[in-house]
Amino acid sequence: RASVQPVRKHSDTQFLPEGERTKPAYVVYSPDHIRQIREGEDGWEADCFIHPHDGYVYECIHVMNWTAPRRRLQHYKAIFIRKEIT
């Protein structure tokens, strides 16, 4: 139920740490809640997905509530970057 698209706008990556801006990235729009990492005792891991075409794992690093004014449906816009293989 999500829309996955390559990041094409600088405005989507300008808030990321400098080292993350050059990594392959996708923007995901979804009505379902998307989570980025939360550190601490009550924290959680970030959401990830495996891209069907390249097989790489992409991890959510930033989520924004993307609900349009006057709309009842809540949506999320998230930036996912390719995880480094270690």
Residues facing 29 on adjacent strands: 3, 77
The pLDDT of residue 49: 93
CB 32 within 8 A of CB 2: yes
Per-residue model confidence as pLDDT tens digits over 12-46: 888 788 888 888 999 999 999 899 988 888 889 99
Instruction: List 6's β-bridge partners, or say none.
Output: 26
